[in-house]
């Protein structure tokens, strides 16, 4: 009787598809890695989980002081602090995801060279842990809004879309960085320079309205993150909606970056264990 | 054999690594870009190295297959291909079942997490579902014997506890095909016996085990068949006895002195051992020395540059890998200053009280900060038969290799009591 093998291993060449079925088989590992990340981060700290709340609050305070008080760039119709805090939440999702994803292979060399699992599990699990932090900070924001009597209305329903697009952008870039870092460690040195620069180049502590009107379109085009940050504030702080064409541009760009990132990652994945 | 008996079918598997030459390899992005811009059409000088080639064999369901081979024979590469850590360059492998691989005990164990948390993390890394782990949790804990410390971070564990817990998780993997590398060499005697028993259970349960070990005793007692790899090619596939014999004898004839062509070595290579020879006190080259007779081991080397404070060491092993002695220059507080080029070390040995048999030598050269060269099974030599006790009788292999200098006599009880 001929029995079909469960799996046949063959050399692969060129581009390969995202194997979603296999990713689903390893979903428990995804959760387990995320659990590890969350548990480890605040073990042996005095304040523990309180850090998740404190970090964005303190950072928002500092940025508010620098931009709102010192530079006098106050947003129209919203408190400077609330405005910056909301921007920071989006920014943190972006920068942490990019950072984590880019280090996901090199930081787990011992796993990558010793055991098989879909390599995408590592960057994805990092994202899960980041989303938990985001959820906590978001709750603080929503409670604050309720206390102040601010109600964004139906745009609140679009909130997950903004975060999803930010994740696409960050993961896509992070996956490319992760694949490159396996071969060239330079990326580890480039990102710490690039990420703070991006923070100031994004409307986190200032609004796009502060930029001279004739440069605004260019600003949105050059920095696809801008429309997403403004969009998130529209969905939470009841601020004006960013221009629709720019939102469409950002969304398209984010999805393309994600697809490219996943493709590059999958293509180079098979060499990780040999090179790393 | 009908295909319903098959667990793994390996057909023409090969794996090539590309070795880039020093002056070409770029380790930074800038170098790579600059090179591309300057020389857009130049292809880097690459050398292909086949770690494995043309390997084909089948493994039946319920079989415990031993995988034998010297360092660099391609064992690890084959294991990594089967467990999908790396991809093969050519060939095809059919897997008739889920593969669980155990190339190292405790992969992904985290020092800060507790024993309980690590069981779940490690289980998931090995490919178990959470429900599966929960179901087997009690069995895992019982097997490991660390139940009292389950909620203590594993950084506070003794190394024995750590290894036991790690092996316990792995031993409860429910995959149909289990790949195990060298993990038998862990834990105390009791726990090793427990591990061996567990492996036998696994095979009796109809699952398939692929076992890699240098320990011929373990291979002979556990495996139902074996495969020998040599320089990336299949040298033997069949019954265990034949495989072990093949491995040991071929290994011995290969080990006559010359090390220049050996690829299965580690170390940074500033200096390399080129050949090894055994000489009698009279200066004649020999392959056999008598127990207790003085002799000399000569190690010729080639150094790429002048080196300071070089230490040299020779290990004497039984063919199954059991270490009998380490002759390290550091034990005498000796380090050597070495000029570039070729030279030789000599180690004078007053005599070895070992029973007539084949013994294996490993050679290592190291500096203050690096291992320069290390060749396992660099050479074998014989202890010649000799009538040490004057009765024509000597201990058998299972009675230990050491020929102790001893004498029995009958004494009065009073002598002991006083």
Residue of B nearest to A5 (CA): B96
> Running along chain B, 418 residues long, what does each successive block of 10 average in pLDDT?
77 86 60 71 68 93 88 85 91 91 78 91 89 92 89 88 85 84 61 74 84 75 88 90 75 59 84 88 78 90 92 90 91 92 92 87 90 88 80 81 89 65
Residue A167 tokens read as: 């994740």
Could you tell me which chain A residue has the CA closest to the CA of B97? Answer: A6
- Residue B146 carries which DSSP code? -
Locate the chain A residue with the closest alpha carbon to B91: A10
Nearest CB to A6; choose among B85, B98, B108: B98
* Tokens 């596939």 found at: B237
Q: Which of B240, B289, B266 is nearest to B362 (CA)?
A: B266
Q: What is the pLDDT of residue B318?
A: 87
Q: Which of B4, B62, B61, B58 is nearest to B202 (CA)?
A: B62
More confident residue, A130 or B186: A130
Cα angle value B264/B167/B226 (rounded, 5°): 45
Contacts of B349 (CB under 8 A, 6+ apart): B294, B295, B296, B297, B327
Interval A152-181 mean pLDDT: 95
Residues of chain A with a CB closer than 8 angstroms to some CB in chain B: 1-3, 5-12, 26, 28-29, 31-33, 35-36, 39-40, 43-44, 110-117, 180, 184-187, 270-271, 273-274
Please give the pLDDT value at position B42: 58
Measuring CA to CA, which residue among A61, A229, A52 is closest to residue A140? Answer: A52
Interchain CB distance below 8 Å, A111 and B107: yes
Nearest CA in chain B to A33: B121
Partners of residue A29 in chain B, C-beta under 8 Å: 124-125, 127
pLDDT at residue number A2: 62
The strand pair at B265-266 and B358-366 is best described as unpaired
Provide mean pLDDT across the span A202-221: 90
Question: In angstroms, how far is CA B336 from the centroid of its own chain?
Answer: 29
Radius of gyration of chain A (CA): 20
Calculate mean pLDDT across residues A32-40: 89
Beta strand segments in B192-262, E? 208-212, 225-230, 233-238
A145-157: average pLDDT: 90
Instruction: Report residue B273 as tokens.
Output: 């051992």
**Number of CB pairs, chain A paired with chain B, less than 8 A apart:** 117
The secondary structure of B245-311 as a DSSP string is HHHHHHHHHHTSSB-TT---EES--SEEEEEEEEEETTS-EESEE-TT--EEEEEEEEESS-EEEEE
Per CB-CB distance under 8 Å, the chain A contacts of B121 are 32-33, 35-36
The helix/strand/coil state of B190 is: helix
B241 vs B321: CA distance, rounded Å:
17
Give the closest of B27, B112, B130 to A28, CB-based: B130
Instruction: Determine, for residues A11 and B90 on separate chains, whether the beta-carbon distance falls below 8 Å.
Output: yes
Rounded distance between C-alpha atoms, residue B324 and residue A244, angstroms: 78
Chain A nearest CA to B65, separation (Å)? 19
Rg, C-alpha atoms of chain B: 25
Query: Which chain A residues contact residue B88 at CB under 8 A?
Result: 9-11
| Three-class secondary structure assignment of chain A | CCCCCCEEECCCCCCCCCCHHHHHHCHHHHHHHHHHHHHHHCCCCCCCCHHHHHHHHHHHHHHHHHHHHHCCCCCCCCCHHHHHHHHHHHHHHHHHHHHHHHHCCHHHHHHHCCCCCCCCHHHHHHHHHHHHHHHHHHHHHHHHHHHHCCCCCHHHHHHHHHHHHHHHHHHHHHHHHHHHHHHCCCHHHHHHHHHHHHHHCCCCCCCHHHCCHHHHHHHHHHCHHHHHHHHHHHHHHCCCCCCHHHHHHHHHHHHHHHHHHHHHHHHHHCCHHHHC
Q: How far is CA B272 from CA A209, B92, B257, B360, B366, in A?
A: 69, 37, 14, 19, 10
Of A10, A12, A115, nearest to B101 by CB-CB distance is A115
pLDDT given for residue B44 in this prediction: 56
- The verdict on a CB contact (< 8 Å) between B29 and A110 is no
Instruction: Please give the residue of chain B at the shortest CA–CA distance from A7.
Output: B95
Contact (CB<8Å) B94/A8: yes
B6-20: strand order across its sheet: A7-9, B90-95, B6-20, B46-60
């Amino acid at each position: 009787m001929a029995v079909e093998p469960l799996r046949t291993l063959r050399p692969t060449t060129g581009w390969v598809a995202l194997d979603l079925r296999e990713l689903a088989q390893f979903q428990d590992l995804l959760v387990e890695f995320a659990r590890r990340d969350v548990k480890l981060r605040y073990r042996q700290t005095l304040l523990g989980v309180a850090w998740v709340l404190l970090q964005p609050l303190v950072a928002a305070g500092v940025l508010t002081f620098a931009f709102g008080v010192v530079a006098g760039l106050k947003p129209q119709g919203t408190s400077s602090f609330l405005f910056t805090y909301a921007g920071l939440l989006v920014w943190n999702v972006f920068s942490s995801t990019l950072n984590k994803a880019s280090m996901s292979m090199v930081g787990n060399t011992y796993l990558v060279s010793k055991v098989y699992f879909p390599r995408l599990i590592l960057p994805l699990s990092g994202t899960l842990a980041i989303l938990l932090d985001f959820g906590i900070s978001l709750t603080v924001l929503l409670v604050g809004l309720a206390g102040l009597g601010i109600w964004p209305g139906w745009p609140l329903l679009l909130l997950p879309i903004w975060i999803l697009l930010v994740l696409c952008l960050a993961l896509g870039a992070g996956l490319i960085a992760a694949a490159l870092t396996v071969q060239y460690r330079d990326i580890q040195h480039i990102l710490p320079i690039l990420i703070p620069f991006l923070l100031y180049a994004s409307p986190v502590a200032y609004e796009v309205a502060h930029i001279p009107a004739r440069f605004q379109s260019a600003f949105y085009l050059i920095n696809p993150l801008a429309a997403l940050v403004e969009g998130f504030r529209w969905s939470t702080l009841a601020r004006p909606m960013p221009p629709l064409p720019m939102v469409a541009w950002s969304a398209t760009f984010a999805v393309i970056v994600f697809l490219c990132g996943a493709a590059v990652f999958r293509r180079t994945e098979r060499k990780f264990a040999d090179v790393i | 054999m009908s295909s319903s008996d098959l667990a793994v079918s390996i057909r023409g598997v090969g794996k090539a690594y590309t070795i880039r030459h020093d002056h070409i390899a770029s380790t930074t992005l800038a170098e790579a870009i600059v090179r591309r811009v300057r020389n857009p059409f130049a292809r880097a000088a690459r050398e292909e190295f086949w770690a494995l080639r043309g390997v084909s064999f089948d493994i039946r369901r319920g079989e415990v297959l031993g995988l034998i081979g010297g360092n660099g024979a391609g064992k690890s590469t084959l294991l990594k291909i089967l467990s999908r850590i790396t991809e093969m360059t050519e060939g095809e492998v059919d897997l008739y079942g889920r593969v669980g691989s155990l190339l190292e005990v405790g992969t992904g164990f985290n020092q800060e997490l507790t024993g309980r948390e690590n069981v779940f993390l490690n289980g998931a890394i090995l490919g178990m579902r959470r429900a599966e782990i929960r179901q087997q949790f009690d069995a895992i804990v019982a097997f490991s014997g660390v139940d009292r410390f389950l909620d203590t971070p594993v950084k506070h564990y003794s190394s024995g506890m750590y290894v036991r817990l790690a092996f316990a998780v792995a031993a409860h993997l429910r995959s149909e095909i289990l790949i195990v590398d060298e993990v038998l060499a862990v834990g105390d005697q009791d726990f090793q016996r427990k591990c061996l028993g567990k492996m036998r259970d696994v095979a009796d349960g109809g699952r398939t085990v692929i076992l890699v070990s240098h320990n011929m005793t373990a291979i002979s007692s556990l495996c139902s068949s074996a495969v020998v790899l040599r320089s990336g090619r299949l040298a033997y596939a069949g019954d265990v006895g034949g495989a072990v014999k093949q491995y040991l004898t071929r290994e011995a004839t290969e080990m006559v002195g010359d090390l220049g062509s050996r690829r299965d070595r580690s170390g940074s290579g500033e200096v390399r051992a080129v050949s090894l020879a055994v000489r009698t006190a009279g200066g004649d080259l020999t392959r056999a020395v008598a127990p207790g007779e003085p002799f000399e081991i000569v190690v010729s080397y080639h150094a790429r540059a002048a080196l300071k404070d070089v230490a040299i060491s020779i290990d004497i092993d039984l063919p199954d890998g059991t270490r009998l002695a380490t002759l390290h220059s550091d034990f005498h507080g000796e380090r050597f200053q070495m000029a570039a080029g070729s030279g030789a070390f000599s180690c004078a040995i007053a005599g070895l009280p070992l029973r007539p048999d084949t013994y294996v030598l490993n050679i290592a050269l190291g500096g203050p900060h690096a291992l320069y060269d290390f060749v396992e099974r660099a050479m074998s030599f014989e202890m010649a038969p000799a009538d040490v006790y004057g009765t024509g009788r000597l201990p058998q292999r299972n009675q230990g290799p050491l020929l102790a200098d001893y004498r029995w006599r009958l004494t009065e009880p009073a002598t002991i009591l006083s």
